[in-house]
């Protein structure tokens, strides 16, 4: 098997391509057109970027050399570089300090080192978390995260707290005060009344549409310089998002968009601003999920089984929600694992009788699934991750 890449690509990109082409069933698992010297050259270039971080972790924490290497290379991304896959990390560990003897470390071995590092770091974070008196962060927040600031900054924050605000509440309030914002319903009304918009939708086919909302506004006289509101972000319930407006002609197609507002013209469904706000709120909540959250949604929707195609689609995975309604996972874009995020490129909803197991892997089944086996979701995050085919994990 060959590894196809261009000379001008970053060494991290080249390593990812080489890692994807490894074949451990052969005596020499390396791609036929790549030499060990070339791999060492790419790895030593990356060592100049990450080596000092690894050395510091080894010297000042309980992480071993291998644990530090896998953790740094998977979780730190230098500007201009790509995040390394586990296969690429295996090439790096193999080349740095081992004179490229033997074979590169497999993805399984590298992920084991990564899991050990995560366990040690989680234990360290838990130790810090419980050094202060209660209430503890887990009792206050859905997803607590440690944040380090200068002592004088903490003192300033303490003086800015209002009433029973937590530091998190204070920071969020102060950040919101630094940008001009507008409620989504108000924005939609302004576009309708001031710009004569007949339709407003979110272009959900755009990458990361949920992080910066690309609004398509269909008006009688499109004007690229129009500014109906003086705001940088839009508020959708508790969520705050930056947004952009692209004015288009009235007859622009809307099939691939999430409709937020539509006037009752012709056969177009009428959608008022309040309904549009609720639609977007639900879409933002559904755009990413962990495997347990995905199963919870499936159970609530009466889905019979969840499966994935064994081979990637584009740069991500193909999810099959067997027995689901067509729109059950309409806005799912990302699947969150314990150590990586996978892109959901396609979702299909085959009927139970139409589901073909060949070429797919079952992730979960309902207790009454008629497939000759039932499959629960493992409680351990690493076991859940290992249920996914290797080819899909390599995309994350």
Q: Domain limits of the chain?
A: 11-121, 147-178, 181-285, 287-393
The single residue listed with the structure tokens 């690229």 is 224
Residue 102, pLDDT > 60, answer: yes
Question: Which pLDDT tens digit goes with each residue over 154-178?
Answer: 899 989 999 888 888 898 888 877 8
Residue 117, pLDDT > 50, answer: yes
Strands (E), 223-263: 233-236, 239-249, 258-262
Among candidate residues 317, 362, 381, 377, the one with its CA nearest the CA of residue 343? 317
Burial class from Cβ neighbours inside 10 Å (0-12, 13-18, 19+) for residue 313 reads middle
Residue 253, pLDDT > 50, answer: yes
Q: What are 289's strand-pairing partners?
A: 335
Cβ(84)–Cβ(54) below 8 Å:
no
Question: Which pLDDT tens digit goes with each residue over 376-393?
Answer: 999 998 899 999 999 998
Q: How far apart are the first and last CA of the chain?
A: 21
Burial class from Cβ neighbours inside 10 Å (0-12, 13-18, 19+) for residue 65 reads middle
pTM: 0.64
Question: Which pLDDT tens digit goes with each residue over 213-225?
Answer: 999 999 999 988 8
Cβ(317)–Cβ(360) below 8 Å:
no
The whole-angstrom separation of Cα 363 and Cα 359 is 13
Complete edge-to-edge strand list for the sheet that includes strand 199-202: 181-183, 233-236, 239-249, 213-219, 199-202, 258-262
Residue-level pLDDT at 72: 94
Parallel, antiparallel, or unpaired: how do β-strands 334-336 and 199-202 relate? unpaired
Residue-level pLDDT at 101: 61
The whole-angstrom separation of Cα 220 and Cα 266 is 15
Residue-level pLDDT at 267: 47
Residue-level pLDDT at 97: 64
Among candidate residues 337, 389, 299, the one with its CA nearest the CA of residue 107? 389
25 three-class SS: coil
The whole-angstrom separation of Cα 260 and Cα 244 is 14
Residue-level pLDDT at 268: 66
Rounded to 10 degrees, the C-alpha dihedral 353/358/364/365 comes to: 30
Among candidate residues 306, 301, 325, the one with its CA nearest the CA of residue 365? 306
The whole-angstrom separation of Cα 221 and Cα 300 is 44
Element (H, E) at 17: helix 11-20
């Amino acid at each position: 098997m060959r590894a196809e890449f261009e000379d001008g690509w970053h060494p991290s990109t080249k390593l990812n391509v080489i890692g994807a082409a490894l074949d451990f069933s052969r005596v020499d698992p390396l791609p036929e057109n790549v030499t060990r010297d070339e791999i060492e050259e790419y790895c030593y270039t990356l060592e100049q970027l990450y080596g000092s971080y690894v050395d510091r972790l080894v010297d000042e924490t309980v992480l071993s050399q291998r644990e530090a290497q896998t953790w740094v290379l998977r979780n730190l991304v230098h500007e201009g570089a790509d995040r390394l896959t586990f296969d690429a990390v295996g090439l790096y560990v193999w080349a740095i300090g081992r004179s490229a003897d033997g074979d590169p470390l497999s993805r399984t071995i590298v992920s084991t080192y990564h899991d050990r590092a995560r366990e040690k770091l989680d234990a360290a974070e838990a130790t810090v978390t419980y050094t202060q008196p209660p209430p503890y962060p887990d009792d206050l927040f859905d997803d607590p995260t440690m944040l380090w600031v200068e002592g004088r900054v903490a003192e300033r924050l303490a003086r800015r707290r209002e009433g029973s605000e937590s530091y998190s509440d204070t920071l969020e309030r102060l950040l919101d005060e630094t940008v001009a914002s507008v409620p989504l319903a108000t924005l939609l009304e302004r576009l309708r009344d001031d710009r004569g918009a007949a339709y407003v939708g979110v272009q959900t086919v755009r990458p990361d549409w949920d992080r910066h909302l690309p609004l398509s506004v269909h008006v009688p006289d499109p004007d690229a310089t129009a500014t109906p509101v003086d705001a940088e972000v839009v508020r959708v319930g508790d969520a705050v998002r930056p947004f952009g407006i692209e004015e288009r002609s009235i007859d622009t197609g809307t099939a691939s968009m999430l409709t937020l507002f539509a006037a009752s013209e012709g056969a177009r469904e009428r959608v008022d601003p309040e309904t549009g706000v609720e639609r977007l709120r639900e879409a933002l909540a559904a755009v990413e999920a962990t495997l347990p959250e995905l199963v919870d949604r499936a159970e609530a929707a009466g889905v019979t089984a969840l499966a994935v195609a064994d081979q990637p689609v584009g740069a991500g995975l193909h999810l099959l929600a067997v027995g689901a309604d067509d729109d059950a996972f309409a806005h799912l874009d990302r699947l969150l694992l314990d150590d990586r995020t996978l892109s959901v490129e396609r979702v299909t909803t085959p009927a139970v009788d139409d589901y073909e197991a060949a070429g797919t892997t079952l992730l979960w089944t309902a207790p009454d699934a008629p497939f000759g086996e039932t499959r629960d979701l493992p409680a351990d995050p690493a076991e859940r991750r290992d249920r996914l085919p290797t080819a899909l994990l390599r995309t994350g």
